[in-house]
Amino acid sequence: MKKIVKQVLGIDVAQKELVVCFGKMYDTCIPALVAYKVFVNNKKGFVELFKWVTKLADSNVAVRYVMEATGVYHEKIAYYLCNKNLEVSIVLPNKISNYSRSLETKTVTDKTSSEAITLFGLERVLDRWLPAKGIYKQLQQLTRERNQIIEERTVIKNRLHAELTEAKSNKRSIERAKKRLLLLDKQEKEVKNDLIELIKTDEEVKEVVMLICTITVIGHLTAVTVLAETNGFELIRNKSQLASYAGLDVREKQSGTSIKGKSTISKRGNKHLRKAMDMPALSAIRRDERFKAIFIRLVSKHGIKMKAVVAVQRKLLEKNYTIFKTKKAYDKNYFARNIKIEEQQLTVI
């Protein structure tokens, strides 16, 4: 008799519904798709889904619930399942789409998507997802709100500039734009104050923020954004994984001697993390000898400045992770001290 070694419920999440597929892996290493159903994406649907899975599953083997990270639509079902102490894995959409191409299925529907997620979960070893620590979730909400305010303010400023430079400006439009800017400025200050007050409530987070800010080009808001978007590096195991999560990992296209495409970053990750590293990276190239050396070395190698800037972004993000793990402040004189030691060694020789 075949023995069940793994059970997975693949969930294709939409705004209003959950398309699910239940599958099992036997000791023969052959996956089997058992059942398919659609549930409403609300509390009532979650209860029905759990009852349905309980009837289908072997009680001796834990069920892994696997879903894609789809904006915010997956969060309610993920939190519901975690509150029941069930195993949940959330996977980046690009991993599922890449896996789906390897299957024989030619059509793409909600059903085939849920089947692909189930098969992916059965075949791969996935990390267990845990809800963000309360403070990190709140910090994420506030930092993202501030980014939206800044983006909106930039749009209004550009519109106001256009209005003021026109031959015949609309005075009422200009007045409304100025009022809108005042409101946005006020709201940004409120969000900043909320962030400061929230950080004060947790000494551990406060200490980590201060340590990360020892990197001279990293400000408090950037440090908080990094912590919020990574949930305090909860599921990050190494630097490579962090780069992939942020979408700063390198994607190469090469086959034999005839195909050699240009290397690019994947951008298949957390855009908020990438954006948080933009200005600090440019500042680091100007003000920090360590990052300046990295930039110069890479530009002299391939001559592409933007590519070198991205490399600095990645190194800067990795340095955040290192400081978080080691709980040691950034040594801004590290590079200069090493150069001096090397010069002394050469003099002796």
**Alpha-carbon distance 271 to 291, whole Å?**
22
* DSSP per position, 222-268: HHHHHHHHTTTTTT--SHHHHHHHHT-SEE--EETTTEEPPPEE---
Report percent pLDDT > 70 for the chain. Answer: 90
pLDDT (average), residues 13-23: 93
pLDDT greater than 60 at residue 330: yes
For 59-63, 174-178, 258-262, which range has the lowest pLDDT when averaged over its residues? Answer: 258-262
In eight-state DSSP terms, residue 15 is: S
pLDDT greater than 50 at residue 246: yes
Architecture of domain 4-123: 2-Layer Sandwich (3.30)
Is the CB of residue 5 less than 8 Å from the CB of residue 25?
A: yes
In the structure, what pLDDT confidence band is assigned to residue 168 with cuts at 50, 70 and 90? confident
**Alpha-carbon distance 110 to 267, whole Å?**
25
**Alpha-carbon distance 211 to 206, whole Å?**
9
In the structure, what pLDDT confidence band is assigned to residue 346 with cuts at 50, 70 and 90? very low
Is the CB of residue 263 less than 8 Å from the CB of residue 252?
A: yes
Of 99 and 158, the one with more pLDDT: 158
Report percent pLDDT > 90 for the chain. Answer: 61
What are the beta bridge partners of residue 49?
Answer: none
pLDDT (average), residues 103-127: 89
pLDDT (average), residues 153-162: 94
222, two tokens? 């950037």
pLDDT greater than 80 at residue 172: yes
Q: What is the largest CA-CA distance in the chain?
A: 84
Predicted pLDDT of residue 152: 96
In the structure, what pLDDT confidence band is assigned to residue 16 with cuts at 50, 70 and 90? very high
- What type of residue is 243? A
Predicted pLDDT of residue 262: 57
Predicted pLDDT of residue 86: 95
pLDDT (average), residues 297-311: 90
23, two tokens? 């599958």
In the structure, what pLDDT confidence band is assigned to residue 312 with cuts at 50, 70 and 90? very high
Mean residue pLDDT of the chain comes to 87
Predicted pLDDT of residue 46: 96
- 74-85, pLDDT tens digit by residue? 889 999 999 999
Predicted pLDDT of residue 336: 59
pLDDT greater than 70 at residue 264: no
